[in-house]
Amino acid sequence: MIDLTGRSACVTGGARGIGRAICLALARQGADVAFMDRGDPAVAAGTVAEIEALGRRAVFHAGDVTDPEACSAFIAAAVAAFGKVDILVNNAGITRDDLVMRMGLDEWRTVLEVNLFGAFYCTKAALRPMLKARSGRIINMTSVSGQAGQAGQANYSSSKAGLIGLTKAVAREVASRSITVNAVAPGFVLTELTQDLPDALKDEITRRTPLGRFGTVEDIANAVAFLASDEAGYITGQVLAVDGGLVMM
pLDDT digits (tens, 9 = 90+) for 52-96: 999 999 999 999 999 999 999 999 999 999 999 999 999 999 989
Confirm whether 205 is domain-assigned.
no
What was the pLDDT predicted at 20?
A: 97
Q: Does the structure show a pLDDT above 90 at 203? A: no
Mean pLDDT score, 170-195: 90
Task: Please enumerate in sequence order all residues whose Cβ is within 8 A of that of 175, keeping only pairs 6 or more positions apart, or say none.
Answer: 236, 237
In terms of residue numbers, what domain contains 162?
A: 8-187+217-239
Confirm whether 206 is domain-assigned.
no
d(CA 176, CA 200): 49
Q: Does the structure show a pLDDT above 70 at 219? A: yes
Q: How many domains are there within the chain?
A: 1
35, 74, 117, 156: which one is catalytic?
156
Confirm whether 249 is domain-assigned.
no
Q: Does the structure show a pLDDT above 90 at 146? A: no
Confirm whether 138 is domain-assigned.
yes
Q: Given CA atoms 96, 99, 103, 108 in this order, what sign does their dihedral have? A: positive
User: Which percentage of the chain shows pLDDT scores above 90?
Assistant: 80
Confirm whether 244 is domain-assigned.
no
Q: What is the CATH number of the domain that holds 158?
A: 3.40.50.720
Confirm whether 202 is domain-assigned.
no
Q: Does the structure show a pLDDT above 90 at 30? A: yes
* SS3 at position 10: strand
Q: Residue 119: which of 51, 181, 47 has the closest Cα?
A: 181
Task: Please enumerate in sequence order all residues whose Cβ is within 8 A of that of 41, keeping only pairs 6 or more positions apart, or say none.
Answer: 60, 62
- For the question of residue 156 being annotated catalytic, the response is yes
Q: Does the structure show a pLDDT above 80 at 97? A: yes
Confirm whether 152 is domain-assigned.
yes
Q: Is the pTM of this model over 0.85?
A: yes
User: Which is higher by pLDDT, 243 or 56?
Assistant: 56
State phi, psi for 16 to the nearest 5 degrees. -150, 170
